[in-house]
Amino acid sequence: MRPLGTEQAPPANSPASGAHQAGQIVLAFEDNRLASALFGQYGQNLALVERRLGVAADSRGNHVTIAGPRESCEQARRVLEGLYDRLKRGNELHSGDVEGAIRMAISQGSLFEFDSTETRPREEQINLRKRLVRARTATQAAYIGAMRRHALVFGTGPAGTGKTWLAVAHAVHLFERKQVDRIILSRPAVEAGERLGFLPGDMREKVDPYLRPIYDALYDLMDSRIVERALQSGEIEIAPIAFMRGRTLANAAVILDEAQNTTSMQMKMFLTRLGENSHMIVTGDPSQVDLPFGQASGLAEAVRLLADVEGIGHTVFTAADVIRHELVARIVEAYDQARPSAGGRDEKG
């Protein structure tokens, strides 16, 4: 049974009436154990809801009273009811899930698809064998939708927005359901060219340090034994972009990460590798270009040239979509505000 809620509000002629009229909602959750998990250790989840939505949340047993602006109270209700439903389905709850639910409630609108029987949006998600991956922001939901609809998708924006992680999740989803035969992961290997011959070891050892974030995502989304076996069999392939030349990538999920560091020629070469029954996802942060001064980014050019090409999707992330520590979003915003007055190219970072 869903949690029950009652709402109380001051009379229409009270000082609190109007667009920001104060309200109060009381929610009762039937399972005390799940309610405790919902509220979080020492009430930390409720504290996050309070801080982000500007409400006051007071818990007593399996009840919670939410007070504040009526719109914010309604958002808090949707957040807590949605998270409680997740717990009822046997899913664990992490702080990132709470933050994601809050962002989804704030962003509720035309980007979301509604159930006819529900008053809140149905979330975009990727169901993997190891875990269920949910969109935590409206932009992430749009990104997942774009990857489902298009054979080629660009995901651009600052670090920490989940571009690469969700791209890997989509690739794993296709691989597990045998919609593709292999996963191919690529990126420019060094900041100003691919001088891999100077590095010790075989090709995988040369490239590994540059693809660590993708490896982390793979092991997070798949069983480690399956990852190792697929790497050995070639079903998961790691290669620098220079090694893509002359190939046709058919029946594959292909990811190009850190694409802002490709040259125009490299990007054109890579995009034209797309073969039959393949899906390609290109991710990058246009503000973090490490190419030599004066050399145009292949990512920026491709996004501009292919903007109106049918069958290609492009999702743009912003600082509002950063899902790491909340300070990361503030840092990105500060740099974005300073960039127009910098009078030159961004420094590496």
Output the pLDDT for position 329. 64
**What is 4-123's CATH topology?**
Ribosomal Protein S8; Chain: A, domain 1 (3.30.1370)
pLDDT tens digits along 110-153? 333 334 334 444 468 898 998 888 888 888 989 999 999 999 99
Read off the tokens for 235: 């079903």
CATH number belonging to domain 136-341: 3.40.50.300
pTM for the model stands at 0.70
Give the lowest-confidence range in 190-204, 233-247, 311-325. Answer: 190-204
CATH 3.30.1370.10 residue ranges for the chain? 4-123
What residue ranges of the chain are covered by domains with CATH 3.40.50.300?
Answer: 136-341
Ranked by mean pLDDT, the top range of 85-99, 192-206, 257-271 is 257-271
Alpha-helical regions (H) of the chain: 32-39, 44-53, 70-88, 95-106, 138-149, 163-176, 203-207, 212-221, 224-233, 264-271, 298-305, 326-338
Give the HSE-up count for residue 10: Cα atoms under 13 Å, Cβ half-sphere.
14
Q: Mean pLDDT over all residues of the chain?
A: 80
